[in-house]
Amino acid sequence: MNVVFVEKLLRVQPHMKRLFLLIRATNDETARQRLQNDVMEKEVFRILREKHGKDFCSFIWDKVTPVAGDIACENLGIEEKSMKEEMWREINVIVNVAATTNFDERYDVSLITNTMGAKHVLEFAKKCVKLEILLHVSTAYVSGEKTGLILEKPFHMGETLNGIMRLDIEAEMKLANERLRELRVNGATRKAETIAMKELGNQRARFFGWPNTYCFTKAMGEMLLGQLRENIPLVIMRPTIISTTYREPFPGWIEGTRTLDVFIVNYGKGKLRSLPIDRRMILDVIRQLQLREV
Length of the chain in residues, anyone?
A: 294
DSSP, collapsed to helix, strand or coil, labels residue 21 as strand
More confident residue, 293 or 115: 115
Nearest to 291 by CA among 233, 232, 245: 245
pLDDT attached to residue 288: 58
Strand partners, 92: none
* pLDDT for 231 beyond 70: yes
**What would the DSSP string read from start to end of 187-231?**
T--HHHHHHHHHHHHHHHHHHHT-SSHHHHHHHHHHHHHHHH-TT
**pLDDT per residue as tens digits for the range 67-114:** 999 999 999 999 999 999 999 999 999 999 999 988 899 999 999 999
First to last CA, the chain: 20
* pLDDT for 230 beyond 70: yes
pLDDT band at 294, cuts 50/70/90?
Answer: very low
Backbone angles phi, psi at 122, to 5 degrees: -60, -45
Q: Which helix (H) or strand (E) holds 260?
A: helix 260-268
- Provide the 10 A C-beta neighbour count for residue 27: 11
Overall average pLDDT of the 22-35 stretch: 91
CA atoms within 13 A on the CB side of 169: 23
What top-level class would CATH report for the domain 2-103+113-165+214-287?
alpha beta
Mean pLDDT of the chain: 90
**pLDDT per residue as tens digits for the range 113-151:** 999 999 999 999 999 999 999 999 999 999 998 888 888
Q: Is 141 a catalytic residue?
A: no
Comparing 103-112, 134-143, 254-263, 284-293, which segment has the lowest mean pLDDT? 284-293
Overall average pLDDT of the 257-280 stretch: 80
Question: In a 10 Å sphere around its CB, with 0-12 CB exposed, 13-18 middle and 19+ buried, how is residue 44 labelled?
Answer: buried
**Rounded Cα distance, 137 and 21, in Å:** 16
pLDDT band at 293, cuts 50/70/90?
Answer: very low
Q: Is 246 a catalytic residue?
A: no
The structural domains of the chain, with segments of one domain joined by +, span: 2-103+113-165+214-287
Active-site residue among 214, 246, 267, 271?
214
CA atoms within 13 A on the CB side of 172: 26
Record the pTM: 0.88
Active-site residue among 63, 119, 198, 218?
218
Comparing 41-45, 103-107, 147-151, 177-181, which segment has the lowest mean pLDDT? 147-151
Q: Which residues contact 156 (CB under 8 A, 6 or more apart)?
A: 223, 226
pLDDT attached to residue 131: 97
